[in-house]
Amino acid sequence: MHTLSWAAWVTLVMSVALSTSNPLYLVVVLLCVCLVAALAPRTAQAVAGFRALALLGVGLLVISTGIAVVNGSYGEHELFTVPGPEVPDWLGGLSLGGPVAAEGLVAAVLRSLAILCVFLAFAVFNGAVSPSRILRSAPAALFHAGLVVTVGLALLPASVDDVRRIREMRALRGARTGVRDLPALLVPAVIGGLERSMRLAEAMEARGYAAAPATGRWPRLMGALSAPLFLAAAWVWFYYERYRAFAAVAALVGVVALVAWALLAARGRSTTRLRPEPLALSDRAGIALSIALTALTVVGKAAGWLDLSYNPFAGLEWPGFSPGGAAIALACAWPALLLLTAPAPGTEGDTEPLVPTPAVEA
């Protein structure tokens, strides 16, 4: 699958999961993401392991539910009461303990479920797309972002490794690891990480990865213009309902200015690709589907269509269900179709098996 397809899919999962609070749809999205996760390829160079990210997501779910319990919650169906101290008023309405209602608990679980979906989708993305592929697919106008991302991605695993090595060195010097050791671990790790990223940035510059010859005044002006245009459009849209047409025009002009800036900035920096990654028909279809459904969910959420919203505080009724909403949730599994029918990237075109050998001597 193409990098762009993965990006479109993550956007789709994110928008659906964050737009709906309907537990039926959320469960469907979660299952779809799990299905894709099971089928997706995993490169050796992922920033962090899929398992680690998935565990982190589940951990967040447990923690946020736990916080909801400790914080107490309001509702008709009281389940149990958590003993807690009285918190004085001047602490700004913070409460610890108190009655826990089913409604509050359900709301907390739904919120965390949505976050878990997004987290898992990013974990899949992280495993399926290698950092260097993202860098190459980045538009030329985003040169600085690409540099920062590459350096950052190289830095993270190296820093984890550094912390491990510094811990070992501390042990070799006779230290028993404890909380008081934290500065001794972190100070050298941060310094080492900064030095390492400087070296990589320097090496990239020496290889000619640098900004375009300075873009002209007009393109830069256009790029700068888009932000105030968007702000003005949003302002007018929400506060002056009579002039919404103007807001739409302003937003459109902003988009045009942004696109023009990106194109002009890219023109000064013509790059080529050794093996261009063609966007297959199936990829194009997937991207189009994702964009359409993303738009539909965002609009549907605002307009209250498709039973996307569910309010547990309205008496804990069984959530509504519409075939359209369920179809959108189910569509989050579209990469699974592609992955089942096509061989995964990385296996095609390689003449030799890519067997990673752990660095024994390092």
Partner 1 sequence: MSYSYPGGAAPALCDVDLDLQEGALTLLAGPSAGGKSTLLRLFNGLVPQFHGGRLAGSIEVAGLDPARTPARRMAAIAGMVFQEPEAQAIAETAEDEVAFGMEQAGVPPFEMHRRLDALFDLLGIGPLRHRRLSTLSGGERQRTALASVLALEPRLLLLDEPTSQLDSEGAEAVIAALTGLRDRGLAVLVAEHRLARLLPVADSVLAVEAGQVRALTPLAAAASLDAAPPVCHLGRLLGLDPVPVAVDEARRALAGREIPLRRPVPSPCTVGAPLLEACGLSVSYGAITALGGVDLTVREGEAVALVGANGSGKSTLFRAVAGLVSPSRGAVRLAGRPAASRVQDRTAVAGLVPQDPALALYRDTVRDEVAETRKLRHMEHASGAQLARWGLEALSARNPRDLSVGQQQRVAVAAMLAHEPRLWLMDEPTRGADHLARQWLATTVRQHVHAGGAAVVATHDFETAARFATRVIGLDQGRVVFDLPAARAFAADGPCATQIARLVPGALTMEDLS
Q: Contact between 341 and partner 1 (CB under 8 A)?
A: no
Phi, psi of 276 (to 5 degrees): -60, 135
| Contact letters for partner 1, residues 256-275 (x by CB under 8 A) | --------------xxxxx-
- Looking at beta carbons only, is 144 or 242 nearer to partner 1? 144
User: Is residue 126 packed enough to be buried (19+ CB in 10 Å), middle (13-18) or exposed (0-12)?
Assistant: buried
| Measured distance CA(346)–CA(117) in Å, rounded | 26
CB of 344 to partner 1, least distance (A): 15
Token pair 């984890």: residue:
160
Pick from 38, 148, 182, 205: which binds partner 1 (CB under 8 A)?
A: 205
| Measured distance CA(5)–CA(335) in Å, rounded | 8
Q: Contact between 43 and partner 1 (CB under 8 A)?
A: yes
Q: Among the candidate windows 21-29, 131-139, 222-230, 283-291, which touches partner 1 by CB under 8 A? A: 131-139
- Looking at beta carbons only, is 274 or 281 nearer to partner 1? 274
Alpha carbon 242 to chain centroid distance? 36
The dihedral formed by the CA atoms of 73, 79, 82 and 86, expressed in degrees to the nearest 10: 50
Q: Which residues pair with 100 in a beta bridge?
A: 80
Q: Contact between 86 and partner 1 (CB under 8 A)?
A: no
| Contact letters for partner 1, residues 66-85 (x by CB under 8 A) | --------------------
Q: Contact between 355 and partner 1 (CB under 8 A)?
A: yes
| Measured distance CA(257)–CA(186) in Å, rounded | 44
Number of residues binding to partner 1, judged by CB under 8 A: 58
| Measured distance CA(302)–CA(310) in Å, rounded | 13
Cβ distance 34 to 58 under 8 Å? no
Cβ distance 34 to 316 under 8 Å? no
Cβ distance 118 to 14 under 8 Å? yes
Pick from 144, 180, 207, 242: which binds partner 1 (CB under 8 A)?
A: 207
Q: Contact between 357 and partner 1 (CB under 8 A)?
A: yes
Pick from 172, 179, 245, 281: which binds partner 1 (CB under 8 A)?
A: 172
Write out the residues near partner 1 by the rule CB under 8 A: 43-45, 130, 132, 135-136, 150, 162, 165-166, 168-176, 183-184, 187-188, 191-192, 196, 199-210, 213, 270-274, 276, 350-352, 354-362
